[in-house]
Amino acid sequence: MKFTIAGAGSSYTPELLEEIARRQQELPVSEIVLYDIDEQRLEIMLGFSLRYAKKHGIRAHIRATRDLDDAVAGADFVDTQIRVGGNQQRVKDERIPLKYGLVGQETTGAGGMMKAFRTIPVLLDIARRMERLAPEGWIINYTNPTGLITEAVTRYTGANIAGFCSGGLFPKYWAKDALGIEGKRVQYDYVGLNHMNFISNITIDGKPISQEQFDLLAARDSGLDPGLIRTLGVLPSPYLGWFYHTAERVAQMKQAQRTRGEEVMEIEREVFAAYADPTLDEKPPALAKRGGGGYSEVAMTFVHAVWNNVDTEMVVNVPSNGAVEFLPRDAVVEIPCLVNSRGMSPLHVGRVPPMCWGLIAQVKNYEQLAVEAAVEGSVRKMKQALLAHPLVREYSLVEQLVPELLAANRDYLPQFQQ
């Protein structure tokens, strides 16, 4: 098995190595290719990866390349975890909308749209190379906003792609923390979009949870008011705090000395100083500050299901194809799928909780317009997408935002320079 990590200079790469080491009996990875355009970070990560592999007995040959064709040619799986423009552009995504009293965040709102605009052309390039050089291979996408990127790749290429987020595991983690039970005992219905999902019909050992158990889950630290969760009657993604506590979140961001992007830049300086230490052969403790836990488990569970043809139910970003009846069939949704060597088969969503479908439909409307704007370089569709987004919406703000956002991202948006 050839396993490529595109964006291997990411601080998350050791998480994948850890999972590969843990699963060597079931996954015969013979070659791990580290690809990145940042030569310094790639060199540091290669050195650390070789030390980590030696310490943990990873038998695969590990090498680095800055040649994308070399990285993807013949690859069975390409894990994409890139950040076009780095955290410097993320900070702009956060700060520019905030000037106008709007949420500034890397995966939703106006900032999330700009991250999608920078990233979609790059992922389409990877996907088209995969079509030519590894037509049977799979892209495992963790690059945010993964829902928009997965939709772009599925609409405009024929490459195999599975869009992931660790959010599908969150209810199991919450049950373990709040109820003290093993996650495998917990089942639930899961529907929505990436970072816009709702969990309902929760059972333990097949039996519906009690109101007391639900209240304990609602009270976990997710940044959402427990009263809100009890009112909804379902468990929302933590990211829904941007939609249900918008004014409070914007006020907090304005008062904060640093944005999350600026905090991440500081964390990554510490993490990469550790990776560069020639004596380090374990994940540094500072990596825990970075967030994103669980993603390597999801990625390698997918690899196991596909490679070994093991029927596995997983939450994946896939075209709905009728699974969510009120959305277009080509709309990418985040729902449970049956995964095996045939790929992913969406499981029909029988009933979407009624208070959820309006918000899901509205944000999907924005997402489809944003994908088209990103591919076509259309300023008009960019404005339409922002007008459709419930966190933006106001025409006067859109007219002010668009030229400033485009100017701040000029070096990364060749499609808009026509």
- Which residue numbers are catalytic? 239
Q: Residue 101 is encoded by which pair of tokens? A: 């009293």
Determine phi and psi for 19, rounding to 5 degrees: -70, -35
Query: Does residue 120 sit in helix, strand or coil?
Result: helix
- Cα 134 from chain centroid (whole Å): 23
The dihedral through the CA atoms of 236, 242, 247, 249 has a sign that is positive
Query: Can you tell me the distance from the alpha carbon of 249 to that of 258, in angstroms, rounded to the nearest whole number?
Result: 14
Query: Can you tell me the distance from the alpha carbon of 163 to that of 116, in angstroms, rounded to the nearest whole number?
Result: 14
Cis check: omega of the bond before 145, within 30 degrees of 0? yes
The pairing of strands 196-204 and 235-236 is antiparallel
| Closest CA relative to residue 194, chosen from 375, 21, 318 | 318
Radius of gyration of the chain, Cα coordinates, nearest whole angstrom: 21
State the virtual CA torsion across 197, 259, 383, 126 in degrees, nearest 10.
Answer: -70
DSSP string covering 280-336: --S--GGGGGG--TTHHHHHHHHHHHHHTT--EEEEEEEE-TTSSTTS-TT-EEEEE
Contact 5, 32 (CB under 8 A): yes
Contact 166, 294 (CB under 8 A): yes
Integer angstrom CA distances of residue 2 from 191, 259, 307: 33, 38, 12
Amino acid in position 202: I
State the DSSP H helix or E strand holding residue 131, giving kind and residue range, or none if neither: helix 109-133
Integer angstrom CA distances of residue 112 from 118, 258, 299, 341, 366: 10, 18, 23, 33, 11
Query: Can you tell me the distance from the alpha carbon of 110 to that of 124, in angstroms, rounded to the nearest whole number?
Result: 21
Contacting residues for 82 by C-beta, under 8 A, at least 6 apart: 6, 7, 10, 119, 122, 123, 143
